[in-house]
């Protein structure tokens, strides 16, 4: 059973059925253990039976049959049942189901167990076992992870292909980087998923404007150093404003715009106040995301098959993340229409300004983390082609056509997860 803040609820609440889960190639992320940590992180476990990659549910149930039941505490960033929190709930349900009930979860919603900036500490001191760590909040502790975040403007900014490209490239680069993985280990963490996002960022403004002259002089709330650099190149004035203060800041004219995803604007209720969204289809704004981690000591206490299961069912978490993102995009587009707003492409001069800012950020990261930058650029190119070749219906849809695309249902991503498995299969605990 899944326990929510000490209350038990029945069922697994999975929207994916077991047949489809078994068919989806298992997304194995064990080397989200430090590549140079592979000998310490990957091999350190409670022993026991190993489950071959791609096995069905019964194989995990059998391997964990003699395991003493355990309850893992996990924190969701959203209220119970919210689209953005579904990734945590469905992941918990899948692990519970595939463990034969030997692994259950106590879920804390809306960051009830630990504030966002303290989640990594909570994973180390035992307040939590699994949670979302936002490395951007602690750049001194996670410099390589933040360098990767500085380059999060990569790839297409369209709602389907962009989301798939971004996750493929960012996850591959993070998993293959000893530097990135060592930081998690140094901070007492094992990364189950080193990077995830809820979609591209936009210039979300109170007044319309797509040309450089329109944007010049406006004040914009930014959430990262890359976004601040991009704003300055657009001749805008960046301001640091917390998420909780964003609505009032836009409403009262403290800022004219916010660098925001459609998900954030929709959930934050900003759209009626700022219904004009502008973006560059191939030049992204910095898109800082999060990661999913488990405390290293808790990880090392688990039997091998339990470790494998926690890693292998990350595909469920990602599937739910994609579906929730697209649901939120759909909701946001409807709200924009109701508010007489628009989603528009920036004019050429504004797109060029963002490109110049991103080029400067890239050169800075190259100077400090050259291998990381080059690996991400190569992964971006590779995943752009991979996503194009998968044959996913409507993968290149833009925002104008998205609502029609969404009405036809979520596409089958089996082939996509199979490609991710190819990247991650050599790093699975064994």
The pLDDT tens digits of the residues spanning 130-185 come to 999 999 989 999 999 999 999 999 999 999 999 999 999 999 999 999 999 999 99
246-251 contact pairs (CB < 8 A, 24+): 246/221, 246/270, 247/273, 249/221, 250/206, 250/221, 250/274
63-68 mean pLDDT: 97
CA distance 344 to 152: 21
Q: What is the CATH number of the domain that holds 145?
A: 3.40.190.170
Q: How far is CA 133 from CA 222, 233, 243, in A?
A: 19, 30, 17
Q: What is the CATH number of the domain that holds 214?
A: 3.40.190.10
The pLDDT assigned to 36 comes to 31
For 27, phi then psi, to 5°, come to -85, 100
48-62 mean pLDDT: 95
CA distance 264 to 192: 24
Q: What share of the chain is helix, strand, coil (3-state, %, to 5)?
A: 50, 15, 35
Instruction: Please indicate, yes or no, whether residues 134 and 252 belong to a single structural domain of this protein.
Output: no
Total domains present in the chain: 2
Closest CA to 402 of 334, 347, 335, 351: 334
**Lookup: tokens for 148:** 């990767």
What's the angle, vertex CA 328, arms to CA 324 and CA 331, rounded to 5? 140
CA distance 318 to 25: 13
The pLDDT tens digits of the residues spanning 376-420 come to 999 999 999 999 999 998 999 999 999 999 999 989 999 998 888
Give me the domain span that covers residue 164. Answer: 2-201+285-336+359-427
CA distance 89 to 120: 20
Instruction: Please indicate, yes or no, whether residues 140 and 210 belong to a single structural domain of this protein.
Output: no
Instruction: Please indicate, yes or no, whether residues 146 and 10 belong to a single structural domain of this protein.
Output: yes
Pick from 325, 358, 391: which residue ends a domain? 358
Closest CA to 159 of 403, 399, 411: 399
| pTM over cut 0.85 | yes
Quickly list DSSP for 143-164. HHHHHHHHTTT-S--STTHHHH
The pLDDT tens digits of the residues spanning 351-370 come to 999 999 999 999 999 999 99
Instruction: Please indicate, yes or no, whether residues 303 and 419 belong to a single structural domain of this protein.
Output: yes
Instruction: Please indicate, yes or no, whether residues 123 and 27 belong to a single structural domain of this protein.
Output: yes
Q: How are beta strands 219-222 and 189-196 bridged, if at all?
A: unpaired
CA distance 255 to 275: 14
The pLDDT tens digits of the residues spanning 183-214 come to 999 999 999 999 999 999 999 999 999 999 99
Q: How far is CA 249 from CA 220, 264, 364, in A?
A: 10, 15, 32
Instruction: Please indicate, yes or no, whether residues 115 and 66 belong to a single structural domain of this protein.
Output: yes
Instruction: Please indicate, yes or no, whether residues 322 and 348 belong to a single structural domain of this protein.
Output: no
Determine which helix (DSSP H) or strand (DSSP E) holds 333, and give its type and residue range: helix 314-338
CA distance 152 to 137: 15
Instruction: Please indicate, yes or no, whether residues 323 and 404 belong to a single structural domain of this protein.
Output: yes
Show the DSSP H helices in 151-303 as ranges: 161-176, 178-186, 212-215, 225-233, 246-251, 262-268, 296-300
Instruction: Please indicate, yes or no, whether residues 21 and 146 belong to a single structural domain of this protein.
Output: yes
Instruction: Please indicate, yes or no, whether residues 347 and 421 belong to a single structural domain of this protein.
Output: no
Instruction: Please indicate, yes or no, whether residues 235 and 94 belong to a single structural domain of this protein.
Output: no
CA distance 104 to 64: 13
The pLDDT assigned to 2 comes to 52
Instruction: Please indicate, yes or no, whether residues 9 and 94 belong to a single structural domain of this protein.
Output: yes
């Amino acid at each position: 059973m899944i326990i929510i803040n000490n209350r038990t609820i029945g069922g697994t609440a999975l929207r994916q059925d077991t047949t489809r889960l078994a068919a989806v190639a298992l997304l194995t992320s064990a080397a989200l253990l430090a590549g140079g940590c592979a000998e310490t992180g990957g091999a350190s476990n409670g022993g026991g039976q190993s489950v071959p990659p791609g096995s069905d549910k019964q194989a995990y149930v059998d391997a964990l049959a003699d395991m003493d039941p355990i309850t893992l505490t996990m924190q969701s960033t959203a209220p119970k049942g919210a689209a953005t929190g579904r990734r945590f709930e469905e992941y918990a349900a899948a692990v519970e189901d595939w463990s034969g009930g030997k692994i259950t979860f106590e879920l804390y919603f809306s960051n009830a167990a630990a504030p966002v900036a303290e989640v990594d500490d909570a994973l180390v001191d035992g307040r939590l076992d699994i949670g979302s760590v936002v490395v951007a909040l602690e750049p001194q502790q996670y410099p390589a992870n933040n360098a990767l975040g500085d380059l999060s403007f990569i790839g297409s900014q369209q709602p389907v292909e962009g989301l798939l490209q971004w996750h493929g490239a960012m996850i591959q680069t993070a998993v293959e980087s000893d530097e990135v993985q060592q930081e998690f280990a140094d901070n007492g963490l094992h990364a189950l998923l080193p990077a995830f996002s809820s979609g591209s960022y936009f210039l979300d403004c109170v007044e319309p404007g797509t040309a450089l002259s329109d944007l010049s002089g406006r004040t914009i709330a930014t959430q990262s150093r890359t976004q601040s650099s991009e704003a300055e190149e657009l001749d805008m004035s960046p301001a640091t404003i917390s998420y909780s203060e964003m609505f009032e800041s836009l409403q009262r004219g403290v800022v004219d715009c916010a660098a925001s995803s459609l998900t954030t604007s929709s959930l934050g209720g900003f759209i009626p106040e700022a219904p004009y969204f502008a973006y560059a289809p191939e030049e992204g704004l910095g898109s800082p995301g999060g990661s999913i981690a488990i405390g290293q000591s808790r990880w090392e206490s688990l039997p091998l098959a339990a470790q494998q299961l926690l890693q292998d069912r990350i595909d469920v978490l990602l599937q739910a993340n994609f579906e929730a993102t697209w649901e939120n995009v759909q909701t946001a587009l409807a709200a924009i229409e109701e508010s007489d707003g628009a989603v528009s492409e920036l004019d050429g001069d504004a797109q060029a300004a963002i490109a110049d800012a991103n080029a400067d950020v890239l050169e800075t990261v190259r100077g400090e983390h050259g291998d990381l930058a080059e690996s991400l650029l190569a992964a971006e190119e590779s995943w752009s082609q991979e996503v194009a070749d998968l044959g996913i219906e409507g993968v290149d849809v833009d925002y104008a056509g998205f609502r029609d695309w969404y009405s036809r249902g979520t596409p089958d991503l089996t082939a996509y997860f199979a490609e991710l498995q190819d990247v991650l299969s050599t790093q699975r605990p064994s």
